[in-house]
Structure 1
Amino acid sequence: MLIAAPAETDHGETRVAASPETVKKFAALGADVAVQDGAGDKAGFPDADYRSAGARLVSADEALAADVVLKVRRPTAQEIPRLKPGALVIATMDPYGHRDAIEAMAKARIAAFAMELLPRITRAQVMDVLSSQANLAGYRAVIDAAAEFGRAMPMMMTPAGTVTAARLFVMGVGVAGLQAIATGRRLGAVVTANDVRPATKEQVESLGAKFVAVEDEEFKQAETAGGYAKEMSDGYKAKQAALVATHIAKQDIVVTTALIPGRPAPRLITADMVKSMHAGSVIVDLAVERGGNCELSRPGELAISDNGVKIVGYSNVTRIPASASALYARNLYAFVETLIDKATKSLAVHWDDELVKATCLTRDGAVVHPAFATE
């Protein structure tokens, strides 16, 4: 049983899917572990650390030919033909809207697992890549905002006068939003936040922030059974937009985190709202890779509006790759551990297991996940 982690080929991706820590753990399960030369360099994990942990350093072709291939991002069109038929390929697959890539993996006869499709159940918490990465993204968003903001974050009383605290508004209170609130509070900002899910109000207030939302009857029903935000009506969106437009004009920093699974990111900040903000204020858009919550954000760029508002569109988790890789690698280890028979030290996938069924996209030449099988 060979478990391998190839280097990521996306030019902006700095993370790696295995750490020296998880290499040791996989070896303890009886696996032969391989890591592509240089795969962990950008994450601060040198080849020597992998070698000391028990991994073999191999070429990209050998890593991609393993029985279990661990990746951060979905295999590329160039990588898929090099995967071994029957192999398990585990990554964040970003399957929505990428039907061609899913079919290509099916044609290659690999078993592709999308870690972001894990169910939100107690058993899967240790494997939850969305939470581990979003937590870091929320933290980094506020650090990026503080770096771009030309003033101090906390209130400071000095002999030369008082520096007022920065006003931080967090839009979307999932894992990333909650961490952004907590980080902003630790840095001394006056924090407000909003979300369409009523359950988040108590969470926001427990962190010392003020909740801002139109709290009507639709708002009270705005959460799915799985804990995600529902798509709101046009009427509610108009009322919420009016409230936000008034509030956002007074803010120094805005962090947006709103995402809806399988859909483009909801547009929360219009160009007119950006125009209402003062010069030097900062927007950090964590949904920029899904189309963005801000109309003016650009993936991978720092944009500056005509009135001097800075709009940060960086991929946050790739800017703290050591921590992001360490947590992601632990998520993958926890999942792969459930696929290994510890007595025989071999792969033993239980295809009826709820975690396997929830995440398996392709198997035996077919697209098997019900959400994508008939797209």
Structure 2
Amino acid sequence: MAVKLGVPKETAAGECRVALVPAVAAQLMAKGLEVRMQPGAGAGAFFADGDYHDVRMVEEPADLYREADVLLRVQPPTPEEIDLLGPETAVLGFLDPLGDPDRVARLRDRGVTAFAMELVPRIARAQSMDALSSQASIAGYKAALLAADLAPRFFPMLTTAAGTVRPAKVLVLGAGVAGLQAIATAHRLGASVFAYDVRPETREQAASLGATFLDLDVSGSAEGGYARELTDEEKRKEQELLGEQIAGMDVVITTAAVPGRPAPVLVREAEVTAMRPGSVIVDLAAETGGNCECTVLDETVRHEGVMIHGPRNVPGKLPVHASEMYARNLANFLDLLVDGGHWGPDWEDEVVAKTVLTRNGEIVPDAVRERVEGGAS
């Protein structure tokens, strides 16, 4: 029988994205898959039910979960939603594997086959499935716009009859996907852009987008293109040198993250105090504790005249393109799971093997299993 995809309406507060957009739904059905959706699932991203031609709408979530072979989601399911899943169901979406051991244990205990999009390996063949990168690029773009909106000064240099306005100085901390997009956007807006990352290999990428890279002689590169946690001595050196740079900036955009750990603190309260009144900090790591000591999630706070903005779910603020990009990521991954419309994953495939979170009542990734079992002991 053809694989039945189920797309529920997201229940997380403020989530406007949808896991499947009309164009991608049509492509999947053309490959022989069946699609079922909850009415209104695409409304937050401005996709009406009528846009999903030939998609069957299922009113009750319990019926949708029961009928689906593969459930496509944006946000992780709640405990109540997991309880609607049967052992024959697969789930594909963001599942926060290292951040919520209880959820992973519940998926395991239900016998669900779960694929966490956070675990897609960062290899060339999987780039089209890399949902973390697609959503991070949106977050970086939006962060620069949020900063420009909050700043009480122009970003570009302007020469007027009333005199010349100097460009704003913008520092982007973290030159991953989000940071690079923030650099590019701030540069296009005309700001004088600076960048810093503990991974020296990001220097050329930052420079190619118009940023001056700050060399603090601290290296924290790790496997897979991520940053490792710095030693106490490295943190002390980094904070001392970085603090001197932060004080002279008009805007700081922070994007640094360490998978499975709280966000590293890069901007301490003392450094915020040293910034000029009217300066702005946009902290993209607010959901994992923040890169700034003064960050408050979901709020814009003032400290000594400096505005610190801690947004939640920044990709969700651009739900149309965020949904389109995410849906394509899911569709590309589904190509590895479905053959001719029928379920047939190649469990030896590197991308499939590294992305599967739970299967046959077991937690597959060693790091996640150790985190769950450590929390249960």
TM-score w.r.t. the length of structure 1 is: 0.95
Q: Distance in 2 between matches of 1:91 and 1:298?
A: 27
Q: Distance in 2 between matches of 1:324 and 1:58?
A: 24
Deviation at 1:366, TM superposition (A): 2.2
Deviation at 1:370, TM superposition (A): 2.1
SS at match of 2:175: coil
Deviation at 1:309, TM superposition (A): 1.3
Aligned residues with identical type, % of pairs: 46
In the TM superposition, what are the counterparts of 1:13-28 in structure 2 within 5 Å?
Answer: 13-28=15-30
| Residue range with higher mean Cα deviation, 173-182 or 365-374 | 365-374
Find the counterpart in structure 2 of residue 308 from structure 1.
305
Find the counterpart in structure 1 of residue 362 from structure 2.
366
Q: What root-mean-square deviation, in Å, do the aligned CA atoms of Structure 1 and Structure 2 show?
A: 1.2
Q: Distance in 1 between matches of 2:109 and 2:230?
A: 38
Q: What is the CA deviation profile of residues 58-101 of structure 1, one whole-angstrom value per residue up to 9, with x for unaligned ones?
A: 12223322100000111101101111322110011111131111
SS at match of 1:144: helix
Q: Distance in 2 between matches of 1:158 and 1:63?
A: 60
Q: What is the CA deviation profile of residues 237-272 of structure 1, one whole-angstrom value per residue up to 9, with x for unaligned ones?
A: 212111111111111110000001111110001111
SS at match of 2:44: helix
AA in 1 matched with 2:63: E
SS at match of 2:9: coil
In the TM superposition, what are the counterparts of 1:231-270 in structure 2 within 5 Å?
Answer: 231-270=229-268
Deviation at 1:354, TM superposition (A): 1.3
Q: Distance in 2 between matches of 1:369 and 1:237?
A: 29
Find the counterpart in structure 2 of residue 55 from structure 1.
55
Q: Which of 194, 200, 214 is the matching residue for 2:202?
A: 200
Kept in 1: contact 2:6–2:70 (CA 8 A) = yes
Kept in 1: contact 2:70–2:90 (CA 8 A) = yes
Find the counterpart in structure 2 of residue 64 from structure 1.
65
AA in 2 matched with 1:176: A
In the TM superposition, what are the counterparts of 1:151-162 in structure 2 within 5 Å?
Answer: 151-162=153-164
In the TM superposition, what are the counterparts of 1:129-208 in structure 2 within 5 Å?
Answer: 129-208=131-210
Q: What is the CA deviation profile of residues 180-225 of structure 1, one whole-angstrom value per residue up to 9, with x for unaligned ones?
A: 110010000000010011111111222221111312xx52xx3123
Q: Distance in 1 between matches of 2:366 and 2:123?
A: 19
In the TM superposition, what are the counterparts of 1:112-127 in structure 2 within 5 Å?
Answer: 112-127=114-129
Kept in 2: contact 1:3–1:34 (CA 8 A) = yes
AA in 2 matched with 1:366: E
Deviation at 1:12, TM superposition (A): 1.9
Find the counterpart in structure 1 of residue 279 from structure 2.
281
Q: Distance in 2 between matches of 1:264 and 1:270?
A: 15
Q: Distance in 2 between matches of 1:303 and 1:194?
A: 24
In the TM superposition, what are the counterparts of 1:69-80 in structure 2 within 5 Å?
Answer: 69-80=71-82
Kept in 2: contact 1:127–1:331 (CA 8 A) = yes
Kept in 2: contact 1:341–1:347 (CA 8 A) = yes
Kept in 2: contact 1:86–1:364 (CA 8 A) = no
Find the counterpart in structure 2 of residue 348 from structure 1.
344
AA in 2 matched with 1:309: V
Unaligned 5+ segments in structure 2 are none
Instruction: Name segments (4+ residues, structure 1) moved above 4 Å.
Output: none
SS at match of 2:324: helix
Kept in 2: contact 1:256–1:286 (CA 8 A) = yes
TM-score w.r.t. the length of structure 2 is: 0.94
| Residue range with higher mean Cα deviation, 311-320 or 122-131 | 311-320
Q: Distance in 2 between matches of 1:363 and 1:108?
A: 10
Unaligned 5+ segments in structure 1 are none
Deviation at 1:372, TM superposition (A): 2.2
Q: Distance in 2 between matches of 1:123 and 1:192?
A: 32
SS at match of 2:260: coil
Q: Distance in 2 between matches of 1:117 and 1:177?
A: 20
Q: Distance in 1 between matches of 2:130 and 2:63?
A: 28
Deviation at 1:365, TM superposition (A): 2.0
AA in 1 matched with 2:105: E
SS at match of 1:192: strand
AA in 2 matched with 1:196: V
Q: Distance in 2 between matches of 1:275 and 1:183?
A: 27
Deviation at 1:48, TM superposition (A): 1.2
SS at match of 1:4: strand
SS at match of 1:373: helix
Q: Distance in 2 between matches of 1:279 and 1:63?
A: 53
SS at match of 1:78: helix
